[in-house]
Amino acid sequence: MNSAEGGGGGSDLELSSTAAASIAGAHEKAAGRVTALAGSVPNLDAGYGGTALADILAKVLVTADTLATVNQAAADQVRAVANHLGGTDSEVAAAFSELSGNSWPFGGTDPGQGASNPFLPPGSPGGFR
């Protein structure tokens, strides 16, 4: 029972594929916009301040590149987490299906009901022939 069900203390982590795609897409869009801005630095005639302005712009470009890299990494991580959670959900669903009697050995089709059962000695009823 999780905290939403009144169990207190527990927590759930859910990330739908739609939300993951939206979040990752927003980070990629941000990375693209920052990268595009870096290429749009205008030529400025700053006179005596030209060297100082060039230093400032260089630092801005380095920071912009870092921001773009961080946003791309965030997009990649969101997708990785979504894939991991989806795989975990599938594994848990399969385990619950097995335990709830939807598949053998806890339910479903018993191999003894088929043509041969590998768990019985050869020649016995239901065993290999």
CA dist 23 and 16 (Å) reads 11
Domain encompassing residue 30 = 16-102
How confident is the model over 74-94, as a mean pLDDT? 85
CA dist 82 and 16 (Å) reads 7
Q: Determine how many CB atoms are found less than 10 A away from the CB of residue 21.
A: 14
The pLDDT value given to residue 3: 43
Average pLDDT, the chain: 75
pLDDT per residue as tens digits for the range 17-61: 889 999 999 999 999 998 888 777 777 788 888 888 888 888 888
Q: Is residue 5 situated within a structural domain? A: no
More confident residue, 123 or 73: 73
Q: How many domains in the chain?
A: 1
- Check: CB of residue 47 under 8 Å from CB of residue 53: no
Q: Is residue 121 situated within a structural domain? A: no
Q: Which amino acid is at 40?
A: S
Q: CB under 8 Å, gap of 24 or more: what pairs does 52-61 form?
A: none
The pLDDT value given to residue 76: 93
Residue 69 pLDDT > 70: yes
Q: Is residue 53 situated within a structural domain? A: yes
Residue 116 pLDDT > 60: no
Q: Is residue 56 situated within a structural domain? A: yes
Q: Is residue 118 situated within a structural domain? A: no
Q: Is the dihedral of CA 32, 34, 38, 39 positive or negative?
A: positive
Q: Is residue 110 situated within a structural domain? A: no
The pLDDT value given to residue 1: 36
Residue 70 pLDDT > 90: yes
CA dist 127 and 84 (Å) reads 41
Q: Is residue 116 situated within a structural domain? A: no
